[in-house]
Structure 1
Amino acid sequence: MKNLLFFFIFLFCVPFLVVSQTKFKLQNNKKFDKVRFKLIHNLIIIPVEINGVELSFILDTGVGKPIVFSFLNERDTLKINNTEAYILRGLGEGDSFEALKSKNNVFKVGAAINASQEIYAIHDASLNFTPQLGIPIHGIIGFDLFKDFIIEINYSKRYIKLHDPDRYIYTVCDACETVNFEFYNNKPYVNAHVKINDIYVPVKLLMDSGGSDSIWIFENENLGLYESENYFIDFLGHGLSGSVYGKRSKVQELKIRSFTLNQVNVSYPDSNAVHFAKRLKIRNGSISGNVLKRFNMIVDYRNARLTLKKNRFYKDEFSYNKSGIELEHHGELLVLEGDNSTSSAFTNTTINLDLELKPSYNFQVKPAFTIVELRENSPAELAGLLVGDIVLSVNNRKSHEYKIHEIIRLFYAKEGDDIRIKVNRNGVKHSFNFQLKAPLK
């Protein structure tokens, strides 16, 4: 999606995980298999089948063992057994949490099957990332898939190819660049340079396809990795251990070999939120979906090799949310549709319905989009909007006619564009108008 930077991030600090003897294998002696994916907020969503149940997972180079979220009631639905408790820690301001480690699960991704896969099942009901993405997200998969294949990721055409590494042959590509991976705790790191305050600084960044941001930098004044003037404080996203806040700014350039991206969004997370991630002293941050999607790539863990080629997203502008509004899907709208093609929307959790029911009316349940964060002094906050407001319409179009990413896209439009928004606040409708304004000077 053009010019879209979503606020939601997936970043994890999990224990060191050794390579298992079990592995994914392509069936029917295939050389490769193509799997289509959805690209939502710069995140790759692939179909995964666990123990015969079809699910949707985020493909995340920054995570070790697969993670399944608790809202599935996974013991019953997925028939997960052979469990033992573990304590995991993720980014954010909250506490660590308990997960159940389960063995001998049957995983299927396209034509690739692992008949004895380990997973972590997280029981905390608050760790449900579906509201941020607008579609059901059941889990995350990363290292255990990447270690068994050479994986071609085509962001522009939205597919991955799982190649048998023993039969894959590299072709000559004059337009490509090859980057060497370095691995720590089964996670891939790449070397790059950022230009800050007119100085090029070498950085080692975790390759994190499970993050929707551009790059994260851990502030270090001694290395020149900091922004002292042109930044704004913002909500950066949800980690497994709570919300993450910090500075947002721009780096003048991000250089990966011969590829140079200009005016790239950068986030400097609060040091407390990334305390565990910074234990690896050589790490300077992460490179995530809003940069990675600008390349089609071949990811080769076996040979510690990443091949990059520019795609149609390469020249897209890096932009920020100019409204200050962060939305999530919370609850439902009860939509009343009449013969005159008009409709009224109500939240089934906050409105006492007092309707004159007529045979010609039909009721439908639609998702409700709620404001969950408001940037301080942003156009939306200054206009009078509040956290907890439930959006009923945007620019005279009813909210249930949008998908959540379509509303968010409007907040990344041109500076000065008008936004007209109607909300429900404690059962009372309010209308607001404001103009988009870039948060950086």
Structure 2
Amino acid sequence: MNHRIAVLLFLCFFFIEKGISQVPGFYMKEEKRKVQIPFYASNNLIILPVSINGNYPVNFLVDTGVRANILFSKSLGDAMELSYSRELNLVGADGAASLVAFVSPSNHLDLGPLEGTFQNLLVLEEDFLELEKVIGIPIYGIIGYEFFKYNPIKIDYDQEMISFYQRGALKWKPLFYKKLDMIIEGQKPYIEAKVKQENGPVLETKLLIDTGANHGLLLNKETSNDIFLPNRFIETQLGQSLGGELFGFIGRVKNLKIKNMRLDEVLTSYPEETPFSYVIKESGRQGSLGSEVLGRMNMIYDYPRERVLIQKGDNFYQPFEYDMSGMSLKKVPTEENRIYVSQVRVNSPASEVGIVTFDEILSINKVPIFIWELHEIIKLFRSEDGKEIDLEIRRYEGEDIEKYEDLQFRIVLEKQI
């Protein structure tokens, strides 16, 4: 499925309220060389429980591609008794859609051995991203630049562990890590990499490091006349933004070189140009690296020294695989584990057997759907060309949930790119 969780939130600016004399940031509760926090990884996205002002912890996404801390729901913010200093009207990526958000100043974020002090939150009136639908578990907000700005932070995807170091630690490069210069612009991190295309020249690229996006490599065609689509590609939905669904193409590049580490046949997203593409052009970047690439490495982000340290992870050389079923799936955001088909690609295995949009999956290979996690289904549908999968489907008649037909299908996975 490879949804691009498009936190292309041009609304996500870094804001600082006046009148706060203390320095906002994330700090250790007890002075140590480092503290460690386990995280939950879903398709290599980094999810942490966060308690706001002493309230019950809720899941937040750790996202280097976003400047502000964000809470997705004002109703949740109200339940937490947050205070708001001002209201904002935000414009979406299509130049037309709008959304109301509220600034909540000076909050305390608790992450166990760490605390975020005097943290501002951008509280959205409504959750337009609905990340639970594409990740499979509830996500209530995002931690952005504030988490990284003062201290070296190691993200070990193999162990699913974050190490938060004292600011003065890691003066020297650890053994077996490679050092890259990292540019911090507009509170976002960038590195340089080489991209060897199938149809075009080798690209010398400036790429945003985006831990909150679950693509591999993303290239914005509008930023360079030297970016070309490969011979084989799929047109599909890439993700969600304030302006609605984002569409574009999925293909592959021959290889991606970061320092002297090479990844071959990398799945690459090519989004369509939007009215806000000028923001990307002005940044000087040609694209971004998402979790499908970042999750193959263990990385130390050292914002104060403007460097990133990289070590190959256990799955560095595993092939990049895309969905072979032809279906995009989403979870119904309820306590029940209900999965439905959100998109069916033309001429795909799913479309050829007659599966259609909004079909609900009841079982996979005779295993009831409540046993499955969404990321497990995604992994299965990427697993093996020629693999047969039996599906039990419920098809509703219009909007009447009392009228439906249960159907049986067998699809044969087919590698399309």
- TM (norm. structure 2) is 0.91
Q: Which one of the candidate residues 43, 55, 58 is aligned to 1:55?
A: 58
Residue 75 of structure 1 deviates from its aligned partner by: 3.5
| 8 Å contact kept, 1:92–1:243 | no
| 8 Å contact kept, 2:230–2:252 | no
Quick check: 196-205 or 114-123, which moved more? 196-205
Quote the RMSD (CA, aligned, Å). 2.2
* Partner amino acid, structure 1, of 2:7: F
Give the direction of change, closer, same or farther, for the CA distance of 1:262–1:93 in structure 2 (3 Å limit). farther
Counterpart position of 1:12: 9
Superimposed CA distance per residue, residues 223-281 of structure 1 (whole angstroms, 9 cap, x where no aligned partner):
42111532121111223432111111100010111111111010100112762542425
- Unaligned runs of 5+ residues in structure 1 are 333-364
Is 2:155 aligned against 1:153? Answer: yes
| 8 Å contact kept, 1:33–1:110 | no
Quick check: 190-199 or 13-22, which moved more? 13-22
What is the alpha-carbon distance in structure 1 between the residues aligned to residue 414 and residue 244 of structure 2? Answer: 28
* Partner amino acid, structure 2, of 1:317: P
Is 2:269 aligned against 1:292? Answer: no
What is the alpha-carbon distance in structure 2 between the residues aligned to residue 7 and residue 393 of structure 1? Answer: 26
| 8 Å contact kept, 1:420–1:433 | yes
SS of equivalent residue, structure 1 residue 61: coil
What is the alpha-carbon distance in structure 2 between the residues aligned to residue 401 and residue 47 of structure 1? Answer: 23
Counterpart position of 2:257: 255
Give the direction of change, closer, same or farther, for the CA distance of 1:122–1:401 in structure 2 (3 Å limit). same
What is the alpha-carbon distance in structure 2 between the residues aligned to residue 306 and residue 19 of structure 1? Answer: 26
What is the alpha-carbon distance in structure 2 between the residues aligned to residue 390 and residue 405 of structure 1? Answer: 17
Superimposed CA distance per residue, residues 29-82 of structure 1 (whole angstroms, 9 cap, x where no aligned partner):
233210100110220001211111211111000011110111x72343221103
| 8 Å contact kept, 2:15–2:68 | no
SS of equivalent residue, structure 2 residue 212: coil
Is 2:340 aligned against 1:313? Answer: no
Q: How does 1:42-81 map to 2 (within 5 A)?
A: 42-53=44-55, 54-70=57-73, 73-81=75-83
| 8 Å contact kept, 2:328–2:341 | yes
Counterpart position of 2:352: 382
Q: Give the number of aligned pairs.
A: 403
Give the direction of change, closer, same or farther, for the CA distance of 1:261–1:91 in structure 2 (3 Å limit). farther
What is the alpha-carbon distance in structure 1 between the residues aligned to residue 42 and residue 275 of structure 2? Answer: 25
Q: How does 1:146-295 map to 2 (within 5 A)?
A: 146-166=148-168, 168-196=169-197, 197=199, 199-220=201-222, 223-227=225-229, 229-272=231-274, 275=277, 277-280=279-282, 282-295=284-297
Residue 92 of structure 1 deviates from its aligned partner by: 6.5
Give the direction of change, closer, same or farther, for the CA distance of 1:221–1:165 in structure 2 (3 Å limit). closer
| 8 Å contact kept, 2:236–2:248 | yes
Q: How does 1:293-372 map to 2 (within 5 A)?
A: 293-330=295-332, 366-372=336-342
| 8 Å contact kept, 2:5–2:240 | yes
Superimposed CA distance per residue, residues 378-412 of structure 1 (whole angstroms, 9 cap, x where no aligned partner):
11012111111110111121111211111121110
Quick check: 394-403 or 258-267, which moved more? 394-403
Superimposed CA distance per residue, residues 82-140 of structure 1 (whole angstroms, 9 cap, x where no aligned partner):
33112345657872322111101111223222331101011124432112212111100
What is the alpha-carbon distance in structure 1 between the residues aligned to residue 280 and residue 350 of structure 2? Answer: 34
Give the direction of change, closer, same or farther, for the CA distance of 1:417–1:409 in structure 2 (3 Å limit). same
What is the alpha-carbon distance in structure 1 between the residues aligned to residue 25 and residue 392 of structure 2? Answer: 52
What is the alpha-carbon distance in structure 2 between the residues aligned to residue 93 and residue 315 of structure 1? Answer: 40
Q: Which one of the candidate residues 355, 375, 379 is aligned to 1:409?
A: 379
Identity of aligned residues (%): 28
Residue 9 of structure 1 deviates from its aligned partner by: 3.8
* Partner amino acid, structure 1, of 2:70: I
| 8 Å contact kept, 1:45–1:57 | yes
What is the alpha-carbon distance in structure 2 between the residues aligned to residue 405 and residue 314 of structure 1? Answer: 19
SS of equivalent residue, structure 1 residue 209: coil
Counterpart position of 2:408: 431
Counterpart position of 1:341: none
SS of equivalent residue, structure 2 residue 315: coil
* Partner amino acid, structure 2, of 1:66: N
Quick check: 263-272 or 4-13, which moved more? 4-13
Residue 331 of structure 1 deviates from its aligned partner by: 6.1
What is the alpha-carbon distance in structure 2 between the residues aligned to residue 387 and residue 417 of structure 1? Answer: 22
Residue 376 of structure 1 deviates from its aligned partner by: 2.0
Q: Which one of the candidate residues 383, 389, 394 is aligned to 1:419?
A: 389
What is the alpha-carbon distance in structure 2 between the residues aligned to residue 76 and residue 311 of structure 1? Answer: 41
- TM (norm. structure 1) is 0.86
* Partner amino acid, structure 2, of 1:17: F
Give the direction of change, closer, same or farther, for the CA distance of 1:182–1:371 in structure 2 (3 Å limit). same
Counterpart position of 1:337: none
Q: Which one of the candidate residues 92, 101, 105 is aligned to 2:107?
A: 105
- Unaligned runs of 5+ residues in structure 2 are 18-22, 397-403
What is the alpha-carbon distance in structure 1 between the residues aligned to residue 221 and residue 125 of structure 2? Answer: 33
| 8 Å contact kept, 1:236–1:246 | yes
SS of equivalent residue, structure 1 residue 30: coil
What is the alpha-carbon distance in structure 2 between the residues aligned to residue 91 and residue 156 of structure 1? Answer: 35
SS of equivalent residue, structure 2 residue 68: coil
What is the alpha-carbon distance in structure 2 between the residues aligned to residue 253 and residue 200 of structure 1? Answer: 10
| The structure with more radius of gyration | 1
| 8 Å contact kept, 1:299–1:307 | yes
